Structure 1
Amino acid sequence: MYLGLDLGTSGLKGLVIDASGAVMAEASAPLQVARPHPGWSEQDPADWVAAASDVLRKLAGKIDMAAIAGIGLSGQMHGATVLDAADKVLRPCILWNDTRAHAQAARLDADPRFRAISGNIVFPGFTAPKLVWMAEQEPELFARAAKVLLPKDYLRLWLTGAHVAEMSDAAGTSWLDVGARDWSDDLLAATGMTRDQMPALVEGAAISGSLRAALGAEFGLKPGIPVAGGAGDNAATAIGLGVARAGQGFVSLGTSGVLFAATDGYAPAPETAVHTFCHALPGTWHQMGVILAATDALNWFSHIAGASAADLTANLGTLQAPGRALFLPYLGGERTPLNDAAIRGAFIGLEHATDRAAATRAVLEGVVFALKDCQQALAATGTKLDTLIAAGGGARSDYWLSALATALDLPILVPEAGEHGAALGAARLGLMAATGASLEAMPLPPIAHEIIPDPTLTAAYADTYNRYCAAQTAIKDLT
């Protein structure tokens, strides 16, 4: 059996598969985000270790842990986990959706080397500008920084004792030469960093280290089993869904929203605010449009409405034309295509007829139109999607997926277990590292059903998207 550990923003999930890819057991533990100041988003890495320990204990109550032959990792990207020379965490991890380093990101992005070498805009949520912020705002801590790890790679350190990252996650730091799949000494030097402060790099299906004996004894795992390089959450989701060839893609309705497209090769287009990253397999890359709030927007509204997200979406019925109310989901800035850390969300067009159901639909539609923006940005790079698979917790809402399929004019395949994506991909990478198996030899996840665009509503969604774009321009001017 093979274990995947997926370190998300709101929780950590463990998934165990057998050699055929069938799910044998799963467990999860919640995580909280601290927001001590506006625009800040942090987590204590000790909470990740506690959550991982909880998950392993839960799994030990379900399966024989000694049968696990390999471990893979996936996780939230871009977080700055800064360690001293003794591997002590110097400060809470600055997460992917933290925008405090927007000024530093703009300065780095103005240096043409960053887009030329990394293939991407330097977004405020990326790792490098956070270290520049530390150098300027926390110089005493920055002076003690011996290693910078991405979140899942801190779990790797706990599991193996090794400082290692892999290509897909490292591509989101603004320090990687994404075409060459290696750290860039020029970009590191431009941010006051050195290669010695970076973890070693491996490919996602390569062995990154071996499980420490003490952890094996604690959780019933065999010591020395291989731990794969793994992948950032979106690349791991793609591996779980079998998305690795050009034309294949997925749409993720998780905390953030992602429109992911596998590509034939490395083809950066940073001017579009599309992310061009290494994929988890050697010699492969991918592009994606990213929005910062998908289910996060629905969860925000659920707190205001006094009902759970599931309750809000359960009784929406069949797909309707968008109403007058518009929602712009920019609760903490936006990435694709706006690259604007300061923009904020809004409800527009509220009227007496806007009840809770209408407002809920507006929130769902706002996320849909933000992902339509991503589709437009991908198209501007020449990337075309032939198929889409749904992933993430939001994929449990057929109403949401129907709206998305209609707005994007693409059918969407719904897997039987779409929420397994990143954890399943991590487990598959663990299997590949342990056995040398290829992704092509693994079965595709079973599809529960297909959601097709509603041709009777295509024009209504296109018209409302045009209104959304106009509102977007107005909000930019106001914020």
Structure 2
Amino acid sequence: MYLGLDLGTSGLKGVIIDDKGNVLAQESVSLSVSSPCATWSEQDPLSWWQACIDVIQQLHQRLDLSKLKAIGLSGQMHGATLLDAQGDVLRPCILWNDGRSQMQCQDLMNTFPELIERSGNLVMPGFTAPKIRWVKENEPEVFEKLAFVLLPKDYLAYRLTGFMSSDCSDAAGTLWLNPETRQWDDVLLAATGLTQANMPKVHEGCDLVGVLSEESAQALNLPELPVVAGGGDNAAGAVGMGVTNAGQGFVSLGTSGVYFTVSESHKANPENTVHAFCHALPNRWHQMGVTLSGANSLAWFAKLVDKTVPELLDALEESELQRTSVLFLPYLNGERTPHNDPLANGQFVGLTNATDLNGMTLSVLEGVAFSLLDCQNALANAGSIVDELSLIGGGARSAMWRKIIANVLDKRLIYRDGGDVGPGLGAARLALLGEQQSQGKDIEELIAEYCTMPDILASHEPDEEMKVYYQRKYELYQSLYHVTKPLNEALSNLS
């Protein structure tokens, strides 16, 4: 058996597969996010380790974990986890959806024009590098003690093994990695006052990086198992769904929303706000469009109206409502693709006395789908077009939402077995690949054998009768951001 640990924003999942790749068990523990100031988003790294202990404790109750052979990791990208020389956490981790470093981003692009060329990506507040510049300028006492910077899943790997490591898919999202060489770049590091001494060693996602330390094995009640480097959540999700070759793609409906396509080489296209990163598997890269509030938009709305997400979805389905005049912008955490605007705001437009809860719920589902269409258009402009998409993430469990996305994207969507735990499944597959590779087996043969596409649970074709409705509404959606942008900027100055 192989264990995948997926450290998300809202929780940590543990997924166990057998040596055929079948999912045997999964468990999860919730995590909380802190927002001490507007646009800030932080998390306590110590809560990740406690969640890891709790998840594995739950899995012990389901299966005999003495049969585990290896552990793989997946995690939320871009988070800045700062450690001192003793390996102790200096401050809460600044997360991927934190928008405080907008000024530092502009300064980095003005001062280091080669940064975009060497990293292949725009400098955005979500990435790790500008966060470190913000810490240096606003928390100099923390920066002075800073010895190591780790990404969230890599902090877990450190707690598990005692070794500091990363993989190139996750590291590419820091802006310190050169995606072509798949290693840290000295010039990029120097732009934020760091050197390679501050960074973990970069591996391929299926490389072994250590074994459970005696202390961790005891805390988790596990043998001293090998641990593989793993991958950033989206790259790991691609491994879980068998999206491993050029021309394949998927959409993820997790806390954020992601449109992911595989490429055979590093294809940078920052002018279209497309992310160009390494894949978690060797000799592969990928492009992404990202909307910062995917399934989080629906979770936020459910909390606002004191309902659960299933209650909202069930009520909407029972109503059989398919069209609404309400329009929703899902920019609750700002937006990346295509606007790169951390100050963009969420909005409902078109509310009247006749508006009911179902109409607002439908508008949220549509708004997230429109934000994914923005991503699709940006990727198409960057030369990345796919005919068929797999769908993963917690939001993908909703058949109604899947149908809306298929209609809006005008694509065939496939929901596969394990789609709700794609990154965790991918992390477990990477553990399997790593353990088998350590026995001298060829990695490309292993990828072909184990990284296949899971069974299809449902497929959704675009509905021609709804095409005109969605095209007209998308045009309004696009114009709304630009019309209200000055107002959003003025409102941000009031807080």
Which interval holds the TM-score relative to the shorter structure? over 0.9
Contact between 1:343 and 1:475, CA under 8 Å: does it hold in 2?
Answer: no
Matched residue, 1:459: 468
> Is 1:344–2:350 an aligned residue pair?
no
> Is 1:288–2:296 an aligned residue pair?
no
Superposed CA deviations along residues 86-110 of structure 1, whole A, max 9, x for unmatched, are 0010000000011111110121133
Distance 1:236 1:81 in 2: 20
Shifted more, 108-117 versus 388-397: the winner is 108-117
Matched residue, 1:58: 58
Equivalent AA in structure 1 for residue 165 of structure 2: V
Q: Following superposition of structure 1 onto structure 2, how do residues 4-15 of structure 1 map, counting pairs within 5 Å? A: 4-15=4-15
Matched residue, 1:441: 449
Contact between 1:237 and 1:423, CA under 8 Å: does it hold in 2?
Answer: yes
- Residue aligned with 1:316, SS: helix
Superposed CA deviations along residues 313-345 of structure 1, whole A, max 9, x for unmatched, are 113239755421100011121000100011111
What is the number of equivalent residue pairs in this alignment? 478
Matched residue, 2:459: 450
Equivalent AA in structure 2 for residue 439 of structure 1: I
Distance 1:237 1:32 in 2: 22
| C-alpha distance 478-322 of structure 1, shift in aligned 2 (>3 A) | farther
Q: Following superposition of structure 1 onto structure 2, how do residues 110-121 of structure 1 map, counting pairs within 5 Å? A: 110=110, 111-121=112-122
> Is 1:385–2:393 an aligned residue pair?
no
TM normalised by structure 1 equals 0.98
Q: Following superposition of structure 1 onto structure 2, how do residues 291-330 of structure 1 map, counting pairs within 5 Å? A: 291-317=291-317, 321-330=322-331
- Residue aligned with 2:457, SS: strand
Superposed CA deviations along residues 166-204 of structure 1, whole A, max 9, x for unmatched, are 100000001111111111100111111111001111000
> Is 1:212–2:213 an aligned residue pair?
yes
Distance 2:220 2:147 in 1: 30
Superposed CA deviations along residues 407-431 of structure 1, whole A, max 9, x for unmatched, are 1110100113311200000000000
Equivalent AA in structure 2 for residue 277 of structure 1: F
Contact between 1:321 and 1:460, CA under 8 Å: does it hold in 2?
Answer: no
- Cα drift, residue 310 of structure 1: 1.1
Distance 2:116 2:404 in 1: 34
Superposed CA deviations along residues 128-153 of structure 1, whole A, max 9, x for unmatched, are 11110010000011011000000000
| C-alpha distance 213-452 of structure 1, shift in aligned 2 (>3 A) | same
Contact between 2:243 and 2:453, CA under 8 Å: does it hold in 1?
Answer: no
Matched residue, 1:248: 248
Distance 1:26 1:396 in 2: 16
Distance 2:178 2:10 in 1: 30
Distance 2:177 2:390 in 1: 29
Distance 1:309 1:70 in 2: 35
Distance 1:445 1:315 in 2: 31
> Is 1:469–2:478 an aligned residue pair?
yes
Matched residue, 1:258: 258
Equivalent AA in structure 2 for residue 395 of structure 1: A
Structure 1 residue runs of 5 or longer lacking an equivalent are none
Distance 2:53 2:413 in 1: 36
Superposed CA deviations along residues 418-469 of structure 1, whole A, max 9, x for unmatched, are 1120000000000011012622102421111101111100111011000111
- Cα drift, residue 158 of structure 1: 0.5
- Residue aligned with 2:368, SS: helix
- Residue aligned with 1:59, SS: helix
Percent identity reads 48
Contact between 2:165 and 2:202, CA under 8 Å: does it hold in 1?
Answer: yes
Q: Following superposition of structure 1 onto structure 2, how do residues 147-158 of structure 1 map, counting pairs within 5 Å? A: 147-158=148-159
- Cα drift, residue 360 of structure 1: 0.5
Matched residue, 1:366: 367
Contact between 2:119 and 2:177, CA under 8 Å: does it hold in 1?
Answer: yes
Equivalent AA in structure 2 for residue 245 of structure 1: N
TM normalised by structure 2 equals 0.95
Equivalent AA in structure 2 for residue 471 of structure 1: L
- Residue aligned with 1:313, SS: helix
Matched residue, 1:92: 92
- Residue aligned with 1:28, SS: strand
Distance 2:338 2:222 in 1: 45
Equivalent AA in structure 2 for residue 453 of structure 1: P
Contact between 2:418 and 2:425, CA under 8 Å: does it hold in 1?
Answer: no
- Residue aligned with 2:307, SS: coil
Distance 1:308 1:317 in 2: 14
Shifted more, 131-140 versus 208-217: the winner is 208-217
Contact between 1:60 and 1:219, CA under 8 Å: does it hold in 2?
Answer: no
- Residue aligned with 1:96, SS: coil
- Residue aligned with 2:312, SS: helix
Distance 2:322 2:48 in 1: 42
Superposed CA deviations along residues 247-267 of structure 1, whole A, max 9, x for unmatched, are 211111110000111112111
Matched residue, 1:75: 75
Contact between 2:7 and 2:74, CA under 8 Å: does it hold in 1?
Answer: yes
Distance 1:416 1:200 in 2: 34
Distance 1:364 1:204 in 2: 33
- Residue aligned with 1:405, SS: helix
Superposed CA deviations along residues 210-243 of structure 1, whole A, max 9, x for unmatched, are 11123223333221x2111100000000000000
- Cα drift, residue 472 of structure 1: 1.5
Contact between 1:15 and 1:23, CA under 8 Å: does it hold in 2?
Answer: yes
